[in-house]
Amino acid sequence: MSDLTTNTSSSGDVNPDPITGEPGFHPVGTSVGAAGAGVAGAAIGAVVGPVGAVVGAAVGAVAGGLAGKGVAEKIDPTAHELYWQHNHPSQPYATKGGYNEYHGAYRTGYEGMNEHGADKSFSDVESHLQASYEKTKDEAGMAWEHAKDATKAAYDRARDEVKKA
């Protein structure tokens, strides 16, 4: 099985950087953190003037990128996939289809939590998650009303995992 609290799995997947091979490559988490903190840093720096805004944005982006990468390190997509493959049959909504039908819904949930952060509840971001699911589902993908419960389960599980860390 896998260690569900870190970014390693039994296959040895540590999310390697495609260029350096270093473990812990999480472009989404790093980007989200950098963008959010860069904006905050620019706003704080703007109090001092235009130069302060530029410096604040740069410092905020670096700090936010590192913080975002830290959150992403807590969410191992491989571990979440293994968890849902194993636990899907016991879910109350599983009667509507097997794991393969729900794969995209689960992925939307844990990736969405990684994007929106553990401080937001599922209901806070449901419309964003639905839009994301609708964009990424394939032709045979199930309707949101059937996918929603699986997305929420994956979102809540990932959120709980980050909050415990």
**Residue 74, CA distances (Å) to 41, 68, 96, 115 in order:** 25, 10, 30, 13
pLDDT band at 66, cuts 50/70/90? Answer: very low
Instruction: Out of 62-66, 91-95, 120-124, 160-164, give the one with best mean pLDDT.
Output: 120-124
Rounded-to-integer distance, Cα 116 and Cα 108, Å: 11
Residue matched to tokens 């990736």: 111
> Residues 39, 107, 88, 74: what is their CA dihedral angle, to the nearest 10 degrees?
-50
Which whole number is the average pLDDT over 58-68?
52
Is residue 106 within 8 A of residue 154, CB to CB? The reply is yes
Rounded-to-integer distance, Cα 161 and Cα 13, Å: 19
**Residue 38, CA distances (Å) to 45, 99, 111, 116, 128 in order:** 10, 39, 22, 16, 22
Six-digit token string for 138: 């394939």
- What is the structure's pLDDT at 11? 44
